[in-house]
Amino acid sequence: MATTYTPEPAGSGLRAHVQRLGGKMAGMVMPNIGAFIAWGLITALFIPTGWLPNKDLGELVDPMIKFLLPLLIGYTGGRMVHGQRGAVVGAVATVGIIVGADVPMFLGAMIIGPLAAYLLKLFDGLVQDRVRAGFEMLVDNFSAGIIGGAMAVAGNRVIGPVMNTFTEWAGDGVSRLVDHDVLPLTSLVIEPAKVLFLNNAINHGVLSPLGVQQAAEHGKSVLFMLESNPGPGLGVLLAYWFFGPRRLRPSAPAAIIIHFFGGIHEIYFPYILMKPRMILAAMAGGVTGVSIFVATGAGLVAVPSPGSIFAYLAETPRGVGTWIGVYTGLFASAAVSFGVGAALLGFGKLAEPRTEGADGEDAETAPDAEAGEEAADARETTAH
């Protein structure tokens, strides 16, 4: 399933291993992207700061992000490892990690879902051809139940707290950079943390409380824009739209709408996970935007939630200078992110010309490598 979106890279170097890991993580998210879009639309529409605020419908938001989306990721990850049986134990194990954590457990689901399925796969390999006739279903059901339940307990007691600690470390790193007045460098921590779905923890756990204090004193705060700036993600998605693998280009416009106008940044994280080097584009855009925000004295009056262009328009204080600073930084970050991302994607030149497949359908291959490197990564193909 993962190779539908991210073919296995060739080679055994560190870069190939990182790409394999990123590809598998993206492969757990991309099949569920429709659920992310549904949650994004509901969030953008019905939360108190949304387009059509509705208290009752807004109650859909938290259960979807805390339970539905992690469960889908854990289910998909388990299925990638061991089929339907792996999917079931992956989902069961994910429940344990959801209950044991205080933040949405996307990253935790990516770990425990495949891990539970792998343990079940090992067990099935051990007992294969050793179960007496008539007892196969009994063994299959009880093994899945026992392993799934045990992993749910382990996730609740061990992996969940570890993920919470990891989230706290990321937040502490950002807090230290803020305390030392090196705000542009915060993007070097924030952007990778966002891609690991720690964006809400960093924004609402660290930056927003500090920003509220600053806004109370000065009427605005740049801290509200460090994580919520939609510019870097917009640039990454534009780079994919124009220069990414042809199979993914048609999905980019819809993702841009959800991200930039809906403020749902999670929509672009899988695109970076598919090609981990693209995090450099987001980091470059983030550093550029924050540098301009700081240089121009820009800031917002409150947290832009969700982080869309409409929320920015609503939260930008009066004053021509502030408006120029905010939107110059936002669009400059998008431009830099797009430029760096396009270069990392080889400006589309890494993709080979389309060829005619044996079944008469178009096929394409695209070596996943940067120009000038020693060897190309695995070729991407959409032919069946």
- Residue 270 domain flag: yes
Highest mean pLDDT among 12-26, 36-50, 136-150, 167-181: 136-150
d(CA 91, CA 81): 13
- Residue 102 domain flag: no
Q: pLDDT digits over 33-71, tens only?
A: 778 778 877 877 787 767 788 989 989 988 988 899 899
Highest mean pLDDT among 147-151, 268-272, 297-301, 367-371: 147-151
Which position has the higher pLDDT, 180 or 146? 146
- Residue 246 domain flag: yes
Whole-model pTM: value is: 0.70
- The amino acid sitting at 315 is E
State the pLDDT at residue 35.
Answer: 83
- Residue 228 domain flag: yes
Q: What is the mean pLDDT of residues 103-117?
A: 87
Q: Number of structural domains, the chain? A: 1
- The amino acid sitting at 265 is H
C-alpha dihedral sign at 329, 334, 335, 341? positive
Lowest mean pLDDT among 20-29, 117-126, 151-160: 20-29
Whether 360 has a pLDDT exceeding 50, the answer reads: no
State the pLDDT at residue 62.
Answer: 86
- Residue 318 domain flag: yes
**Domain residue limits at 229:** 190-384
- Residue 58 domain flag: no
State the pLDDT at residue 161.
Answer: 82
- Residue 367 domain flag: yes
Average pLDDT, the chain: 81
- Residue 272 domain flag: yes
Helices (H), the chain: 14-29, 33-46, 55-58, 61-63, 69-99, 106-127, 136-154, 160-179, 187-195, 199-202, 208-218, 231-243, 252-256, 269-274, 279-296, 309-315, 320-344
